[in-house]
Structure 1
Amino acid sequence: MQTRLSNGLIMAALGHLAIEFSSNFLPILYPLLMVHMGLNFTQVGTIALVATTATTLAQPFFGYLSDRWGSERMASLSIIWIGVVMGLVGFAWNYPSLLLLIALGALGSAAFHPAAAVLAASHSGPRRGAGLSIFSVGGNIGSALSPLWMATALGLFGMAGTATLMPIGLLAGILAYRLLRPTPSARQKQGADRGHAAADGFLLGLILVVVAVMFRSWFQVALTTYLPVWIDQAGGGVAVGGRYLSVLLFAISVGSFVGGPAGDRLGLWQVVALSLAAMAPALWLFLNTQGVLQLVWLAVVGITIGATFPTSIALALDAWPRQAGVASGLLMGLGWLPGGLGASLTGMVADRFSLTVGLNLLLVPPVLGLGCILAYALARRFHLRAGKIQRIFFPSNHV
């Protein structure tokens, strides 16, 4: 990976780590909340729905703001916000207050992702896939560390252990603000990049990539939400469930790390398609094996999920370069919207039948996502051919 590690790229990745570290501990809380607040599977799914909905619906708006006002300050302040608000989750006194805090904390994630993705891409040079891999793997490491940290903090301090997120968010946000402040030359370069972005975006391609990510997020959020509960019900206990979740999340970070460079070498949409094609078989094998082999298939599931992160972001930015913040906001915003809906649906199926039946339902979304990516590849071919024909007959329209 020969991508230049500029301050902007490094800080975007570290900021992503801090954001995910402050928000991905919720599955560890679910078994405890089911006991302390008497929650059922549907209510647990609703928590995931609130978190993902608050994040996803706001991201296109924050992406628009980052295009207009710059992304450095927005990314820095969002790290502080989410650390402070999510640190208060353990002090929620009832179910509505819990939902409110989670929704407010999710706004920090919504503000960060579009801005930081544009920062990472703009500091990656020609190997955008590799640069976005570095950005993605930072977030996935944070996601993997979050349940381990929170399991320890909850063991030491009880529900008040969530407050340990506050100093981490404050320190990371202040550091990001100091390192991400653009120099005058960087501001001029960003303005030039916007001015030279391709005028003819591929809107259909952007839509198809976003829909494919919707199906992947349905799969991912539902699996990460209920994996610890499924392991706990199987007799493994909360601690074992946390370890399984960490294996999955670390594997996702591995997939994120290799996915971008693979996309630069093999093709972006090809890597996304291969990952989605392998996702459902790997999940089925995980659900139907035990022991070490089960962990191996869980890791394969995580790698296939992670490999789609940097590649899908790069596809979206390539499809709609004129408004990079909006494109990344749509992908990481609307693209994640079905995650909470899928988790809620999985919870409803689990309440009516069993959690195993609910998890088997997740074999469907990756197949639908694969269909979208294959449609993208076909539509892109026609789009490029149409562009060549237009340049031949109307050369004055393409400077």
Structure 2
Amino acid sequence: MAEPPAAAAKSGHGLQQTASQPSSNTVYRILLAISFVHLFNDSIQSVIVAIFPILKETMNLSYAQIGWISFAINFTASILQPVVGLFSDKRPTPLLLPLGMCFTFTGMLLLAFAPNYVMVLVSVIFVGLGSAAFHPEGSRVAHMAAGSRKGLAQSIFQVGGNAGQSLAPLLTKWIFIPFGQIGALGFTVVAAAGIAVQSFIAKWYGTTLKQGYAFTKRTSGTINPVFKKKVMWATAILVLVVTIRSWYVSAIGTYYAFYLIEAYHLTIDQAQIYIFLFLGAGAAGTFFGGPLADRFGRRNLIVASLLGAIPFALALPYLPLIGAAIVLILTGFVLMSSFSTAVIYAQLLHPGSIGTVSGLITGLAFGMGGIGSLMLGNFIDTFGIHDVMIAAGFLPIFGLLTLALPTDTKVRAWTNQA
């Protein structure tokens, strides 16, 4: 497959645009490689969630302390992802890809032998640093390799991450229940494989940069000053919607297993199957969401995703187990179909700032999920898990705000894009 053509030269401190534009060909080998690394990265992150039941029992942790662990990794990633994205927009840095996975490797090694709660927090912060380094540059690589199929490319990239996250309950069932905390040691092998693949991607990334692939705003449009306030208002709505979605996903991914144990008297390993249904369906929704957005519009897909999840979320706490399993699958698929699309829509709102907005939206998903986990953990300690899970079912109602988002056509007009 054709690579982006040589068209520019380095000038000053950054890469400057010349006459030609990036190739419209899609480089699938790079998209698949970066998706696999996303799978490695987020499956390692899912270890943190997977080990919660073990840490709660062996270290006698409260729900609030579990929330702080989730907050530590997610907040670290969310704070640094936009910073890394802003830096890489000005100076793309292929070395960040393998370097980030080195941080992740260190985090897993520390977690396997962490003797206390404080060291657990330190280890997950290292994993968060690795995630912060990976995601903006990974999203940029997906954008570079996308050609004309931006939605499909972002879906291929993001589905790797969401598939990795969906493994958390299976890891609990098959690794951490039988082996305990030391089971985290095996994931240093996954991190090592990630470093190897990242080195391959970084080589392609660096070569493409040398060929002159440009990232300046002139390649894709600029925000018309007349519409700047409208663009910022649309961005604020998108950020709020992503926040609400992240809180609900955290409620299910982090605490619903405990709800199943208490309300339905399931064992820890039995409860993990239901969480996997939700997260696995979410990974499928992430993949199909991008192509659907390419066909029906990004704004339309985001609206359908958030509004479509409302009845399922409200009904979930009241259903028998079989009904809960079905609704978890439907909710995960519908709600997460907007995951990659939200990133593409943000890039549409802010052309030329691929790394920054990718870091903002994906970082926000991590960070707000961490804050949501922390808040929910404290609420559960105070009010009980049953009442909090019922209350969480009302969160998707805020998806009604998506109706205020401008259409794709309107956004292109605001940002001088064809």
Structure 1 residues 157 and 256, CA gap change in structure 2 (3 angstroms): same
Structure 1 residue aligned with 2:95: 73
Q: Does 1:14 align with 2:44?
A: no
**CA-to-aligned-CA distance 1:148-193 (integer Å, 9 cap, x gap):** 2353232443211100010110122112212431364554342266
Match of 1:39 among 61, 74, 79: 61
Structure 2 SS opposite 1:322: coil
Task: Name the SS of the counterpart of 1:141 in structure 2.
Answer: helix
Moved more, 340-349 or 314-323: 340-349
For the 8 Å contact 2:252–2:275, the answer to whether it is kept is no
Q: Runs of 5+ in structure 2 lacking a partner?
A: 1-23, 225-230
Of Structure 1 and Structure 2, the greater helix share is in 1
Note the C-alpha offset of 1:211.
2.1
1:191 corresponds to:
214
- The one-letter code sitting in structure 2 at the alignment partner of 1:19 is N
Q: Residues 109-162 of structure 1, C-alpha deviation per residue, up to 9 Å, x if partnerless?
A: 111111111211221122211111111111112112344235323244321110
The one of 238, 246, 249 aligned to 1:220: 249
Say which of 251, 259, 262 aligns to 1:230: 259
**CA–CA distance in structure 2, aligned partners of residues 385 and 136 of structure 1:** 27
SS of corresponding position for 1:93: coil
1:92 aligned onto 2:114: yes
Which residue, out of 73, 76, 92, partners 1:54? 76
Alpha-carbon distance change, 243 to 71 in structure 1, aligned in 2, over 3 angstroms = farther
Aligned residue in 1 for 2:329: 299
Distance in 1 of aligned mates of 2:412 and 2:84: 30
2:20 corresponding residue in structure 1:
none
Code of the aligned partner of 1:98 = V
- Give the TM-score, by structure 1 length: 0.89
Out of 377, 396, 404, the position equivalent to 1:375 is: 404
Q: Identify the residue that residue 189 of structure 2 maps to in structure 1.
A: 167
Q: What is the Cα deviation at residue 381 of structure 1?
A: 7.1
Counterpart position of 1:200: 223
Q: Aligned AA for 1:18?
A: F
Identical residues among aligned pairs (%): 25
* Alignment partner, residue 114 of structure 1: 136
CA drift at 1:229: 1.4
Q: Normalising to structure 2: TM-score of the pair?
A: 0.86
1:273 aligns with 2:340: no
Structure 2: distance between partners of 1:198 and 1:204: 19
Shift of 1:383: 5.9
1:247 aligned to which of 244, 263, 277: 277
Q: RMSD of the TM alignment (CA)? A: 2.5
Q: Over residues 53-100 of structure 1, what are the superposed CA-to-partner deviations in whole Å (9 max), with x where a residue is unaligned?
A: 111011111112222332532122212321331242132211122112
Verify: 1:30 aligned to 2:52, yes or no.
yes
Count of residue pairs the alignment pairs up: 387
Q: Does the CA contact (< 8 Å) of 2:26 and 2:149 recur in 1?
A: no
Question: Hey, what's the Cα distance between the residues in 1 that align with 2:249 and 2:176?
Answer: 25
After TM superposition, the structure 1 stretch with the greater mean CA deviation from structure 2, 345-354 or 113-122, is 345-354
1:264 aligns with 2:299: no
Matched residue SS, 1:88: helix
Contact 1:275/1:304 (<8 A) preserved: yes
Q: Distance in 2 between matches of 1:254 and 1:71?
A: 31
Give the structure 1 partner of residue 198 of structure 2: 176
Q: For residues 411 and 291 of structure 2, what CA distance do their matches in structure 1 show?
A: 25
Q: More deviation in 278-287 or 58-67?
A: 278-287
Aligned to 1:392: none
The answer to whether the 8 Å contact 1:45/1:343 transfers is: yes
